[in-house]
Every structure is written in C-alpha cells, then in structure tokens.
Structure 1
Amino acid sequence: MPSDFTETRALLLRRQATVFAAQGADLQPDGCMQLFDIDLAKLGYALSQRLRARLQTLSLPVLNATREHIWRTLAAQLGANRQHTPLFRRFPKLVPHNTAALWRDRVLTHFMQAPDQPCLHCGQRGTTHVLKPCQHVVCDACFDGGNYSACPICHRHADRDSPFFLPDPALTHGAAPTHLKLLDLGASMIDAAQTLVRAMCERKQVMSPVDTDDFKALAGDYGLRLLDWVPGQIPVRENIALLFGTLLKHCEPAAVLAAAAAHVGTATDVIRLVAVYSGADPSLQGQLVYRQVPIEKMRGMARFKTLFTPGSYWNAREHYPLPMTIKRFKMVKLSRPLRRALLALLESFHPDSLTEDMLRHRTYWVWLGQFLHPHEYHKRYPKVAFAFSVVRKKGPDGTPAPQFETFYAGLEKAIMRKDAVAMVAQLRKRPGELARRFDHALSVAGDDNTASGAVLDAFAQCVAQFATPVLLTLRALLPTRLHASERRIYWPKGSVATGYMVRERRSPLPRQAVGDAVALIERELLARFSAKPHLDDFLIDAALGDIIVPFNERTASRSAIGLPRGSVVAVPTAKKARLFLHWCEPKNGDRTDLDLSVAFYDDEWRHVGVCSYYQLTCTGPDGSVIATSAGDLTDAPFPDGASEFVDLDCDLARQNGVRYAVAVLNNYSGMPFEGLEHAFAGLMLRDDVEGEHFDPRTVALRFDLAGSNGVFLPMVFDLRENQLHWLDLYRSGEFEFNNVATSSKDITTVCPAMIAYFASGIRMSMYHLALLHGAARAQRVMVRDEAGSLRALARHAGEDNASFLGRLRRFGPADVDSAPSLGEAPLFAALLDADLALPENSIVYALRPGVTATTIAASDLIS
C-alpha cells in the first residue's frame, strides 16, 4: 500500500468504514484472504464482497501493508492496540471478597514482613520473595502468584521475572458477536477527502476534538491543494484558524496568508491563527497552570481555611498547587516577513473594530505584542500601533492611551438601566449577540409591551442572520421558559464539560412572545434546510428521539462513537456490562494512579453500595455479587500502561434494589489526565464474561480522558428503565485522594440534575432535527420503530413545509399511508444503528456503524 496520505486513509476508515485500494494485477488465494477475515473478525469487522475482491488483486506486500494499516487504525479506535492485564489476572474469578481483610494483610506485610524470615501470616519458611523495585516481601502461600500481575502489597508493577509470579493463565475465547460491522471499498479518496473538508468548513459550530484532529490531518496531508476545496465562506472563526494555522506549519507562509486574507476579518481571527501555528488551542480560553504557594501563606487566606482542619493532608505539606489561568501560549518563532504580513493584515481592518476586538483578548495581545514588535513599524502600520497603545494602556513614549468605549460597555450600560429598547438597539449591531441574549432581553423587557415588541421586532429582522446551531438551541429552549424551574444549568467555555448549576432567578417568559419567536425560528430553519439537496424518501429511526443534537462540541470527549452529551441509549437486558479504564504514564514521567469505580443508588438517590479499590466486590442483601472489580493498579509505567475493569450484573443489581449505577473515574494522585501518554475508558456489552479481559468486538463506548484532575462522571445506568445516560461531565474534585466517598455529594447532586435537564426537552433531539430536514426536503418520510417496523407519511400535493412538519410531529400508526418499502433510489437515512442495506449513493447518518457506511456526521445536519 502506498505510504502517502496515511492520515487521510486512517480517518476515512474510522469515519466512513471505507478502504481505498487501486486495482492490482495479482490474484491472492482464498486462504490468504481467510487470514485477513480472521484478523478483522477479532475486532468485530468484516469485508464487503467488492472490497474483498479488490484486495485479492493486490500483490502480497501491498496486501500485508493494507491489512496492517486497517488493523492498526481500527484497533487504536477501539483500544485493542494496548495491553490490558488487570491486577487480578483470573478476573472475574478469584477476586477477594473481603477487601478489609486483604487491606489488613497488606499493611502488616508492608511494615512487618522481612526477607529470610518465616511468613508472618502462615508461618512457613522459604515461601517469601522480594519483589523489585518496590522491595516488598511477599509470600506465595498467602498471595496467589498465578493471579496477581503486580505487587500484592503496593499494587505497583513489579519485575515479572520474580519466581513469585506464575505464568499467565490460559483464557478461553468469549462468545462471538452475532453482527459484524462492514468495511466497504471507497471509490475515490480525493473525492471523499474533498467532500469531508468542505463539510467541515461549512459547519456552523465549533468542531469536536476528533473532528479537529482529522481536519488538521487533512490539511497536513494535502497542503495548499486543500484551498481549492474550501468554500467561499467558513462560518466558524475557530475553523478558519485551524485551516490556515495548520497550513502555515506545512506550506510557504506568503501563499497561505494570501489565501487567508479572504476569510480572516478580525483581530481575533489573526491571534487564533497564530495560536494554531504555535500549537495552541484557537479557542483562547487560557491555559491552566499550578503555582506552588507556601502553605503558611495559604493559611492566612480565608477562602482556604477549610483545607487546614485537624488531620488534613495539607497540614503536612510545604506547598499548595494553586490553580491559575494564564492568557498566553508558547510562541513559535515568527520570521520578520511573517510578522510584517500579520501586521499588514491587521492594518487592513477598520480601526475601531480592530481596537475593540483586540481589547476582547487584551492579555493575549499584550503577550503577542512582545513578538510582533508593532511599534517598530508604527509609521507603516499606524492603526495597529494605535490599537496596541490602547491595549497596553500607554503609547510607545509612555503617554497614557486614549479612552475607548467598547460594544459591551454600551450594552452593559443599557442592561444596568433595565432599558430593553436601548439594549436591542445595541444588539442589532451584532445579530449573533442578539440571538444569544434574546432570553435576557425579554426578561429585561418584563411586562412592558412596548419593550417586548421592540425585542421581537429586532429578533424578526435579524433571524435570517442567526447561526443554525443557535436557532436549534432557541427552538428547544424557549418553550421550557414558559414555566418556573428550580435550577438553571449553563455550560461555560472550556476544554472539558463542566456544567454549572445555580438557583433559577429568572421569571417565566410571556407565552405570546415565545410562540412568535418559535414560529419565526421554525420558518427560518425550514427555509435553510429546503435549500439542501432534495430526496424523495427520508428514513428516520424513532430511537433518535433520545439522542441529543450535538452542542458544546469543543468539550466532547474523543470517542470511537460520537454519542452527544445528554443522550440516552438502551442497554440490552441479556448483556453483561464491563467497564474498562486504561492509562499510561509518559516516558520518564511521574507516577499516576487512576481509579475506576461504580457507585450504586436507589430510586431516591440514596447510596446503596460501591465497587471500587476499597471494596472489590459489591453484594446485595441476598448475598449475590452485583459488581466485581479487577483490582486497583497504582501505576501505569510506559509503554504498556495499566488497565482496570469492573463487571456489572445489571439484572442482579436491579433485583437488589439498585436503580442507578454511576460510573466514576477518579484521578487519585499524580499527573492530570491530559498530561498522560494516553488515557481512555469505555464500556463493553458482553454475552458472557469469560475469555479475554478486553474484547474489542464488544466495545459499545470508548472515549479518551481529558482535563486536569479530579473526577469524571461519564455515564449513569438506569437499571429500572434499562437505559444508559451519557453525561460526559467533569467535576473538579481534589488534587489527590479522589474516590466515590469524597465525590458522593457531587454524584447525588449533579447526576439527577443532569438527567432531569436533558429529559426536559431543553435540547433538541436528533429525531426532531431529522424531521425538520424531512419536512423541508422529502416527499415521503418513513419512521422505523424500535421493533424494526416501518410506517410512512407522504406530502400532500401542494403542501407547504410547515404543514408537512406539523403532520409529521403528530404522525402515529393511524396516519400510515401505506406499507412502505425502501426501493432502489438513493434516500436520506438518519439511523441509530446502520443495520440496513441501503441503496447506493444514499446520504446516511448513523450513530453506530454497521452494514452501511455513514456519509455525514450529526454536525453536518446543523450546517
């Protein structure tokens, strides 16, 4: 296989399950292809007939290279490219049930067991071994060397050449999955890459971390050739920076900046571009660092007094790592021609907008000014020199900078006066801000009909300029604001999701205003979607009603399956749930201990039990084991890392009064999540728990860990409803010693609140988004229920989009026009599982891969 465009081949394989291979002149024997099939089946994949036929024509070296590329890409996506050996190698068997007795034996051995002495537990001689490098003395009669993979005392990895450790136990193969995911032959890699680049550029919201990585990979592979594929407009400013900042790394700067000039329109665009070029994040959210502050100084600060209670861990420490956010990034070297080109770009902007835009990110511009040296060219670029004087609050000669009132200063004055008319007059200058503050403006207007009318008039005049994701958010949000609620949840910018809850202080919005705004939003959305390609038939899974339209994608975890935050998926009752965690410390890095736990709660969110490092098994009142941990490894040395597992028997847990099972990932001690070589976790749904500890064929979710420290709450099992709630939420926690016990208040506060938040309909579902597209673009819409039955509703002759949408929303079994069939013409499909063979050239969104390749992502439906 050619070695060029490796990244592009890999991302198209991951995203679209397609393999690109040129026609060869050979004909490999069936036996050779059977080996290919066996390897893929281990990952839960199979070749389509046409892909198999194409691969069979390749020469043996090219075929082997192709097989290795496919295996490496898919294994990395699932986590199968890592070693997964838990502390207890015979897990789920031979896991000690009495964790307290085991802990007592470990402590006594740590402090009292000496080499060349009888075992202090069993009294036998000649059974002890000194493990390296921890130097613990372990008795093979008391601790099973055929079960442990690390030191039984400290749970750190040890030299496995010690006679204490017996050979790995033989593991049987688990039950094979009944359905394999299909890989198909791609027609043209360049066409697929071009379509993907264009779709990403046309996105109307910030891309997820996975999309960002793929976008950068495409820019790196294709370089300036990418510019021919870029549309005339790129709506999201961060995506502009990602494209041209990445190209700056790989291509000649003058050519890149010449192309970028048509898309870069603000000073913030420029600094974002420089950030990407320097390897930083274009969101300009700041970098979290920890300043080591002497403990004695911390004791004098009132807000930290709770840290120093008697017996506190911090009383024995000399320094406290105080978190600070700094607005700067490590600058790459800027050549003189590049500096002049950037200054010339800034000089081309309107002076007032240039200055105001730089003040929005003042700290960053003060930092960047140290590298641009704008006053060296103050005669050539006077507008830039003036703007830097305002930003720095002084001119190059030390004179005070002139006063400058920003857009937001004028807006805040209107808000302080509670003047809704003045507020919307200011907001009209920036329609995006009007959309984001529409709720606030209506609240300021209150019962004043004149002010409310002014707000609605401004909304109606600007609605065509609002971004599609904002319109979808408002369409779902506004109806929920008709009634008072107890809590308000909001999602600030950040690298990870940290939803904040506050007491709701806002009054409900007027029903008439909400109704008028919703009608305007739906009319605009239908008009936008009707401009997209039309197809006669749309096929939509009803189960997408529980899948949330992606929002705040910047903070989404990197995942093998793009499950949006807040979504709910069914958990098969016959399956066994196995949670997994894997992490690896960087080479020559600090030791880091991550922990995987499951906490159990009843219907009222009262704590029922836990399965964690301090309680390896959780039993119900009837004595049955409802969850088992594979043990707690306390380090993850490079390059193999460490893995932990927890088996959860959902049926037994339900029978023992458990309603909710909460997966909790704790950073117990050591480096932040994001500082590790790699760290990921996920869920397997297995027919049995025998066989390999990690079976990639059964991986239902696999996601990377990000953020600094503390606690990650990825998912909640509702065992009564057989559902999994995907929260993808981080909590700050403590610097060390995080566990379920210390996180219990967060769990019982955050989890029920988040489940209720998403269940309220405050975020649009993929089902309702697909209905909007169907009403605007289709002649017939087919809905598939959870049993697999199809029902169809056709557009009436001359029926407009709004009327068709209304009928689709009331669509029930009694409204079925006829027994539908898919036919042979291309259609649009929005599916939970790609388990249907669809006509060629169909447009397909599918949450989970299957026999049909997906062609679009959820975010493409928002553009």
Structure 2
Amino acid sequence: MTSRRAQVPVDPVAVTLVRRTGLVATELLGAGRRGIKRAGRRPARSGDGLAALEADALALGYLLGPRLRARLAGLPADQLAVTGHGLLAVLAATVGADVPHVPLFRDFPRRVPADTHQRYVQRVFTLLCQEPQQPCVLCGLVGPVSAVSPCAHLVCPACWETERYSDCPLCHRRVDAGTPFRTVTGPAPAGTAAPTGTGLPMPRRAAVLEVADDVDGAVHRALGLLLARRTPLAPQDRADLLVLLDRAGTGSHWLPPEVPVRQTRALVLGWLAADPAYAARLPDLLARYADTATDLLRLLYVLHGTDPGLVDPPARRRSLPRRLRRTLLARLDALPLPALVEDLHRHRPAWLAMAENLHPFEQAARHPVAAAAFAVLRRTAVDPSTPLGRLLAGTAVAHPEVLSVWQGRLCRVSWGGRVETALRSGAVDAAVDLLARRPGELLRRTVTLAARTDDPRRLLATTAEAARSVSPGVLLAALGAVRAATWPAGTRLYFPRGGSARLWAEPDHRPRLLAALGGALDDLLAGELRRRAGKLPAVEVALLDAALADLVAPFTERTASTALVRLPRGSSQPLPTGRRVRLFLHWTEPADTQVDLDLSVAMSDDAGAFVGWCDYTRLRFADDAAVHSGDLTSAPPPLGASEFVDLDVPALRSRGIRYLTMVVCSYNDVPFDAMRDAFAGLMADAGHSGVPFVPKAVEQRFELTGRVRVATPLVVDLKAGVLRWVDATLGGTGGEHSVARYSRTLGRLTAAVDAYFAAGRRVGLWEVACWHAATRAGTVLVRRRDGTVSGYRRGDDEPEAAFVARLAALGPADPVPPEALPRPGFAAVIRGDLPVAPAAQVYALYRSGLDVDRVDLVEAADLVGALAPVARR
C-alpha cells in the first residue's frame, strides 16, 4: 500500500494487522523510508511528535493504547516521524481520508442552488449560445468570458460565481490546475492538515490501537482464523489471506490439517502451486485438500487469476506446465468415477474450457478414469477400432450405474435427474432416500420434502441423521427456511449467486408447513446447533449484549463489500445521534476513460411507494431537508471526484417519508471495478465543521467493487430511527443509470427488504450467541438495551432447550450479582467496553475499549463457523 496523501510506503502486512486486529507493527510502518532532517533545524522532540500523532489519530477516530504509546515514545524523533506517517496513512485510508474531497459546490451545503431546473436551463443556454470574444449571454458583460481547460467551455466568472464552483459549472468536469475554479491541486500530506472535528465525540467504530509485540505471532493467529473460517471469505478477506501467506512463507508450519472452505483451499493451493519449492509436494497436498473435481476446478481458476467462486470465467487461459497438468490429471484419475462424472457436469462449460489446457486424452492409458469422465463431458463417440474407444467402452461396462453408450456415444446417468423424477412422480420417500446420500442437498430441500411427505417421522429421522454432518451455514439456512414456511406467508428475498449480491423479492408462494411438523424440524435443527455449541470449550461466565438482536447471522459473505464496520448483510443499527447524517462518495477514473458516478437518495413511504429523491437533478429536496453537493461528471487523478448528500432526519420524517435508500449509479455504465478507486459511506452529524469530509464523523466506509453499475448499500428507516445494511446491487443494462430509472423498483424493494429482515426470516446473531453462551457457560450475563445487566443460570431441572429459550426471550432473570463473578471468558457484544477475562473469546461489532492483544477477537462468521460438525473439528 502507498498512501495517496503522503506517498508513504507501508508494508501490506502492517495494513492488514491494523485493519483486522487493531495491532500496530511499528517496525513495518514506513518500511524503507528514513526520517528527513531539515538543514539548519534541530529535529523535533519525540514528545511533541507523539502528542501530534495522538491528536491526528483522534481526529481519525482512533486512540493509542498504553503499550503502543510507550513503544512510540521510545523511538528517536526521526523514526517516530516515519512510523507516525505510516500509521496515519493506514488509518486515513481506512476511513477514506487518504484522498482530497472537493465537491462541485465549495460551500456545500450552504450555497447549493435551490432551483436545479433553472440552473440547468442556464447551463444549456450558455453552452448553445456563448461565443468566444463575445459578451456574456447571461449578463451582457464584455471581456470576462474565458475558456476552461480541458473542456474548453466558455464561462463568465461573474455569472457562474467563481468562488462557488470548484470545477466547470457547465459540464461539471474537473478542470486543470491553474484555472479560476481550482482551489486544491493535490492531496495534502498525512498529518500536515489541521485535524477537523476536534470537538466531536468519538464515533461508535472508535478503537484502541495496541502494539504488535510479536508480529509473526499476530500474522499466524490472523492466518489461522482465516484458514479455519467455515464460510466463504469476503473479497477483503481473500486479499488479506494472500498478504498473510506471503509473510508466513513457504514453510509448512502454518498449514493446518483441514481447511474447511473449498474456496479458501483453492486460494492456498494456488499460492503453493506458484512456488517451485512445492512442486514435489503438490501431489500430496492435492490428495489432502482436493477431494472433488470441483476443488481442482477452483484451483485452476486461481491459477488463471480468477476468483475461486466459479462465477466469472478466466478472462484469458494460461498455458500450464506439463508437470502441473499431469499432477492435476493424476488427482482427477484417483477420484471415484461416479462422483467425478457428476462434478464435471455440474460445471460443464468451465470444464470444457479447461480441458483444452489439460489435454485429458493425451495419455488416456495413464489416466483412464479421467479420460472416461471427460469423454462423457464432451459426448465423445466410442469407436471400438481405436485404443481410446476400447478403453471408453470397457469403462462403461464396468460402471453401468453411471455410464452408458447410447447411439455410439458415451453418456451419463444423472443422480439429480433421478431425484427430480422421483419428486415429480410423487415418490417422496424415494427422493428422500436418494438425497440422504448427500446430506447438504437434503437439508437444502427440507421445506419441499416436508410439504410433500406422507411420512413425517421418516423425514424427521433422515433429516436428523443428515444434520449431524452438514456445515453450520447449511443448517442455519434450512432453519430459516423452515421458520419462513411455518409462519404466515410474507416476502421471499433472494440473493442470487453471482459476481455481486443482486436482490430479488417476491411474495412467498411456498406451501405452508403444519405447525407441528415445522416446530419439530425447528427443534431438530436448532437442537443440532446447540449440541455442537456444547462441545466447545467451557467457560465459567459468558457475556451477551441484547442489542445483538439487531444483527443477522452472516450469509453470502463471499460477495460482501469491504467495509469499515463489518455488519452482516441485513443487520441494522441505530442512526447516529444528531440532527443530520451525511452520505459521501469518492471515485477516481482510469486513464482515458471519463466516469460519472452519481450519489443519490430515493425516498419512499411506509408501503414502499416512491415519493421523492435527491440527486443531480434535484439538488435540494424540501428546502434543506436533503441537499446534494453537485454532480461531478469526471474524476481524473489526483483529485478524483467526491459527492455528498446531507440528510436532515427530523425534516424528512415530518414530510411523511419512511425509507431513505442510498443509491450509487454509474451513469455512463462503467463498472465499479474499472475505477482506480471507488468508495462511499456515511458520516454522523459533523456540526459546524465547515468542511465536507470529517474523518472523525465517519461511521461507515465501504468499497464499490465488482461488475456493478447500480449499488444499494444501505436503507434508513426514519420511523424506527435505524440504518439497515443491505450491501446489494440492482441489475441494469445500458447507460444513463439514475434513481428516476429505477424509482418503482427501489421503493418496492426497500420496503420488502426491511420487512423481510425485521420479521426475523433469517436466523439472528443473538440466537447464535445464546447457543454459545447457554451451552458453554455456567452463568450468562446479559447487558440489556437500557444498560442494565441481568444474570441467568440454568435450573437443576431446566432442560437445555428451555434455558436457551428463556435466555433468548430475555425471560425471568436469576438473582446473580455480576460484581461477585469472575470476568467473562466468552463475550458477544455490540460495544467492547466491558471488562473480560484475559484470552477471552470476544465478538464485538465495535471494538471500543478492548485490548485487542489480550483477547481472542473473532468475527461474526467465526461464531457461526465454530458450530461445525463435531466429528470434523
């Protein structure tokens, strides 16, 4: 990483540790850079520099912990300067303060035009009628009209108020340095600008930074958590994994016996395969970590520079070394033929493309199983007069349950086809028997089977057996589906698998399950998750936060945006205190491509009817209830472009508006992943700071990535006073993307999304935390929303399920004096501001006062992943 503010080189490991753990590797910050001594001046004292560093960190919303402060205080002044600049560069990039934020209207939000339409007419009239060396067409003055560079539009500074605009007032493109409209020519160096927001309270996401005493130990702990994660990694997690692997090196001490997630395995194997030192060990590694053909396909995607999620095919296939090709074919040949044939057909187009690199028929006699599987995939003709034809015919005879020769070609007998045939014919028991061979598929079809079965007892018994071996993510999805099908029908929300989380909502037409069967399935699935939680290390005291009910157990993290605060998709949090919130957007366009991103807000009522908007076509909504900073239509470096929208919460609420949906559109259809950088976020009320971007006020910042043109990251419910993190996109084709184009869709989707998640149709993190606490701890402390703490202990004759239900419902508490108890050894809280035991396992949405080097800090996905099948752990 290199900060654009100060061009400070920072080791990527240092960036990863600060962002993931809050630990500062001081020796890696500003690596390779020496302190600069100015001639004729004495170096500044370390005490002064440390005070300045603390002030700048506070202005970014971070505090220096005591051990970190002591470490920095012991550094020479020049080294402190280098380390401080590196740390500030990391923190600034984390909150979005590493770039200049220059909106179109300099005095935003004070002097934004009230009549957007009139201003548009003036712009068009000037563009059409203004001539060089002629009087201004608006005011008639002679002489002041001049051309703006690089767009060459003719502008009268008197009419277009040079002091109001930062760029061309006609086309809204960035202008070259030296023009009357340019006030900032480049990024300010980190730590040189006066900190803003010094009078503001610390943000909710504030964290205490501590020193990393053992950098390699911290790297291995972070790496171990990622490798042990039992849900697919988000894009930022995948990037962090590669950084940590580079630091860990090629030794095998960090490689665990099991990597549960197949996409993660592919990333690790791809990293190892690229190292010649592992060439001899690769067959053994594949035998250990690649037990299906799809695992090898994910590896091939990684080797071709593509995401192992198998969504986007490689842009360009690379030639594979012969030794690697033979190793991969040998591993395919060692797999059971039925599973191999099924796996190849599951991703048929991808394997057909990869076969051109693998050459499976080149040495068919050496890899007969692999050759037969690819022959089925290619629907190869069986010619008995050739060695390959005789080999294929013999393989078909040996495996009649999988292969057959039809019309002279090798064909397969599909397992999935048999399941669908059984369901269509009403043979539910036969379908259950088939699905029992694949427990994950059985759990995914639980609701369908339950709605059709005539033998609920048999289904319950088969489901119970299957549930013992599937991943916690599959169990949670099945549990949510059962509850949704048992409760009254509502909205069904889809997050289709793809390069981004595109939303689709429709009424839930699934048949309703009988309450008795739905309840039995609920008890079965939740009971299996409780049983797994009970096998985890026991603690004497656990601490929970009742506000965890606002968070959803994480799902589809593979497409999650890189965000400052890692809210699981669908979760909500109270709006920041204060009258106003400010949305922001920044992007920098690639070379030779003009990019126009637009920050907009769509407004709808309780029923989801679209009632208003604030964007480049309406800079002000209801006077100053919503104010837009102006539409910038280009974003060349070094400034890029920034847009803001100020939202007056009470004023909008008084207008009958219920929902505000943040929308980011690429007007000219350039996808986000084509940008040099693109991010957006939300700030709390910055008071009278006088600047558009106040780092200390930033509550959320997230990257805009992927082949996406329209993003809907968050929804504000003004009636409830909450912000719901949606992290989704809308599908769209063509250009001219805008709120107006998607107005009806946005209104309906906003109301549907809020109703879906508010109704609890996804399992919440509060319930997951209750499973952990109630089965692992003798005493459970709960911090309620009003700040009071209640205690819970399981009664001698109280069943475990009843205790979990009492705890989850915040039922009658027990007389437990919290002050007489030891500190909690497990905690799941919103704010990490309560004392916990050393080495306690802690999930905290906001780290607050946690000493991150003294606890086992985990993510929400880790709480879910810990509920993996006991036999596999």
Could you tell me how far apart the structure 2 residues matched to 1:657 and 1:422 are? 55
Report if aligned partners of 2:659, 2:750 keep a CA contact under 8 Å in 1: no
Q: 1:126–1:710: structure 2 CA closer, same or farther, 3 Å change rule?
A: same
| Structure 1 residues 261 and 55: alpha-carbon distance in aligned structure 2, compared to 1, 3 A threshold | farther
Q: CA deviation at 1:776?
A: 1.2
Offset at residue 766 of structure 1 (A): 1.3
Shift of 1:266: 0.8
Report the CA distance between 1:278 and its aligned residue: 1.7
Amino acid aligned to 1:493: R
Contact 1:203 1:862 in 2 (8 A): no
Q: Does 1:48 align with 2:65?
A: yes
Q: Does 1:858 align with 2:863?
A: no
Q: Which structure 2 residues correspond to residues 712-727 of structure 1 after superposition, within 5 A? A: 712-727=711-726
Match of 1:615 in 2: 618
1:97 Cα deviation (Å)?
0.7
Cα distance, 1:430 vs structure 2:
0.7
User: By how many angstroms is 1:644 displaced?
Assistant: 0.4
Amino acid at match of 2:48: G
Tell me which moved more, 516-525 or 558-567.
516-525
Partner residue of 1:836 out of 796, 818, 834 = 834
User: Which of 439, 448, 459 matches 1:431?
Assistant: 439
2:786 alignment counterpart: 787
Separation of aligned partners in 1, 2:693 and 2:153: 29
* Distance verdict in 2 for CA 1:333–1:83, change over 3 Å: farther
Tell me how large the CA RMSD over aligned residues is: 2.7
Q: How does 1:706-855 map to 2 (within 5 A)?
A: 706-797=705-796, 801-812=800-811, 814-821=812-819, 825=823, 827-853=825-851, 855=857
Aligned to 2:271: 246
Deviations 1:361-411 (A, max 9, x none): 111111111111121121211111111111111159797541211221221
3-state secondary structure, aligned to 1:193: helix
Sort the Cα spacing of 1:487 and 1:41 in 2 relative to 1 into closer, same or farther, 3 A: closer
* 1:692-707 equivalence runs, <5 A: 692-707=691-706
Residue in structure 2 matched with residue 353 of structure 1 by the alignment: 339
The alignment covers a number of residue pairs equal to 810
Structure 2 matches for 1:42-121, cutoff 5 A? 42-121=59-138
Three-state SS of the structure 2 residue aligned to 1:97 is: coil
Looking at structure 2, the residues matched to 229 and 798 of structure 1 have their Cα atoms a distance apart, in angstroms, of 45
Which residue of the partner structure matches residue 472 of structure 1? 476
The aligned counterpart of 2:535 is 531
Which amino acid is the alignment partner of residue 356 of structure 1? E
Q: Letter of the 1:592 partner, please give it.
A: V
Alignment of 1:315-326 (within 5 A): none
Structure 2 residue 361 is the aligned partner of structure 1 residue 379: no
Partner residue in 2 for 1:568: 572
Which residue type is aligned with residue 725 of structure 2?
W
List structure 1 runs of 4+ shifted beyond 6 angstroms: 166-172, 396-399
Confirm or deny that 1:217 pairs with 2:243. yes
Query: Does the aligned pair in 2 maintain the 1:538–1:827 contact within 8 Å?
Result: yes
2:178 aligned residue:
161
Q: 1:167 to 1:703 in 2, by over 3 A?
A: closer
| Match for residue 15 of structure 2 among 3, 10, 13 | 10
Conserved 8 A contact 2:167-2:181? no
Task: Output the CA distance in 2 between the equivalents of 1:205 and 1:767.
Answer: 18
SS of residue in 1 equivalent to 2:603: strand
Find the counterpart in structure 2 of residue 522 from structure 1.
526
Partners of 1:23 and 1:54 within 8 A in 2: no
Consecutive unaligned residues in structure 1, runs of 5 or more: 288-326
Aligned to 2:397: none
Q: Is the 8 A contact 2:11 2:28 kept in 1?
A: no
Whole-Å separation in 1 of the counterparts to 2:285 and 2:139: 77
Structure 1 residue identity aligned to 2:219: A
* Deviation of 1:28 (Å): 7.0
SS of aligned partner of 2:805:
helix
Gaps of 5+ in 2: 2-7, 30-43, 187-192, 390-407, 866-873
Cα pair 1:150 1:156 within 8 Å, conserved: yes
State whether residues 175 and 181 of structure 2, in contact with CA within 8 Å, keep that contact through their aligned partners in structure 1.
Answer: no
- Kindly, what percent of the aligned residue pairs are identical? 35
Look up the SS of the partner of 2:411 in the other structure. Answer: coil
Using the TM superposition, give the Cα deviation of residue 256 of structure 1 relative to its aligned residue in structure 2, in angstroms: 4.2
Shift, 1:22, TM fit = 7.2
2:601 alignment partner in structure 1:
598
Q: Would the alpha carbon gap of residues 741 and 234 (structure 1) be closer, same or farther in structure 2, given more than 3 Å must change?
A: same
Does residue 1:411 correspond to 2:419, yes or no? yes
SS in 1 for 2:164: coil
Q: Partner residue of 2:405?
A: none
The separation in 2 between residues aligned to 1:404 and 1:119, in whole angstroms, is 78
Q: Distance in 2 between matches of 1:720 and 1:88?
A: 31
Asked whether the 8 Å contact 2:292–2:343 carries over to 1, the reply is yes
After superposition, the C-alpha distances for 1:242-288 in whole angstroms (9 at most, x for unaligned) are: 11112323453423443232111011101101111221011112x3x
Structure 2 counterpart of 1:260, one-letter code: L
> Shift of residue 528 of structure 1?
1.1
Any idea what the Cα deviations from partners look like across 1:751-778, whole Å, max 9, x if unmatched?
A: 1111111112111111111111001111
Aligned counterparts, 1:588-667, within 5 A: 588=592, 590-619=593-622, 624-667=623-666
**Residue 800 of structure 1: how far off its partner (Å):** 5.6
Summarize the Cα distance change of 1:88–1:534 in structure 2 as closer, same or farther, 3 Å threshold: same
Q: AA paired with 2:201?
A: T
Q: Whole-Å Cα distance in 2 between the matches of residues 65 and 462 of structure 1?
A: 57
Rate the CA distance shift 1:172–1:861 in 2: closer, same or farther, 3 A.
closer
In structure 1, C-alpha distance between the alignment counterparts of 2:74 and 2:230, rounded to whole Å: 42
Structure 1 stretch displaced more, 653-662 or 373-382: 653-662
CA distance in structure 1 between the aligned counterparts of 2:418 and 2:79, rounded to whole angstroms: 65
Is the contact between residue 826 and residue 841 of structure 1 (CA under 8 Å) also seen in structure 2?
no
The answer to whether residue 548 in structure 2 is matched with residue 544 in structure 1 is yes
Hey, what's the Cα distance between the residues in 2 that align with 1:795 and 1:251?
Answer: 57
Q: Deviations over 1:181-200 (max 9, x none)?
A: 31112342333322332222
Determine the structure 2 residue equivalent to 1:462.
466
- Please tell me whether residue 586 in structure 1 is matched to residue 603 in structure 2: no
**2-side partners of 1:810 and 1:722: how far apart?**
23
- Displacement of 1:71 in angstroms is 1.8
Listed one character per residue, the Cα deviations across residues 775-829 of structure 1 (whole Å, up to 9, x for unaligned) are 11111111112232211112345866334313313434x5241342386645222
| Cα pair 1:18 1:853 within 8 Å, conserved | no
Task: Give, in whole Å, the separation in 2 of the partners of 1:343 and 1:201.
Answer: 26
Q: Which amino acid in the other structure matches residue 29 of structure 1?
A: S
Structure 1 residue 435 displacement after superposition: 0.9
Alignment of 1:204 with 2:230, yes or no, is yes
Question: 1:478-512: per-residue Cα shift (whole Å, max 9, x none)?
Answer: 22312442542222211211122234332101222
Contact 1:208 1:555 in 2 (8 A): yes
Aligned to 1:323: none
Stretch moving more, 418-427 or 350-359: 350-359
Counterpart for residue 676 of structure 2: 677
Q: Is the 8 A contact 1:709 1:734 kept in 2?
A: no
* Per-residue deviation, residues 325-348 of structure 1 (Å, max 9, x unmatched): xx5542233111111111111111
Check the 8 A contact 2:679/2:703 in 1, yes or no.
yes
For the residues of structure 1 that align with 2:227 and 2:299, how far apart are their CA atoms?
A: 15
Residues 725 and 139 of structure 1, relative CA distance in 2, 3 Å threshold? same
Report the CA distance shift for 1:595/1:43 in structure 2 as closer, same or farther (over 3 A).
Answer: same
Q: SS at 2:601's partner residue?
A: strand
What does residue 342 of structure 1 align with?
A: 328
> CA, structure 1 residues 74+476, in 2 after alignment: closer, same or farther (shift >3 Å)?
same
**Aligned partner of residue 536 in structure 1, secondary structure:** strand
Is the contact made by 2:500 and 2:708 (CA closer than 8 Å) also made in structure 1?
no
Q: Write the distance in 2 (CA, Å) between the matches of 1:796 and 1:359.
A: 54
Offset at residue 443 of structure 1 (A): 2.2
Distance 1:625 1:88 in 2: 15
Secondary structure of the residue aligned to 2:667 is: strand
Distance 1:453 1:629, change over 3 A: same
- Distance in 2, matches of 1:230 and 1:495, equals 29
Which residue of structure 1 lines up, in the alignment, with residue 410 of structure 2?
A: 402
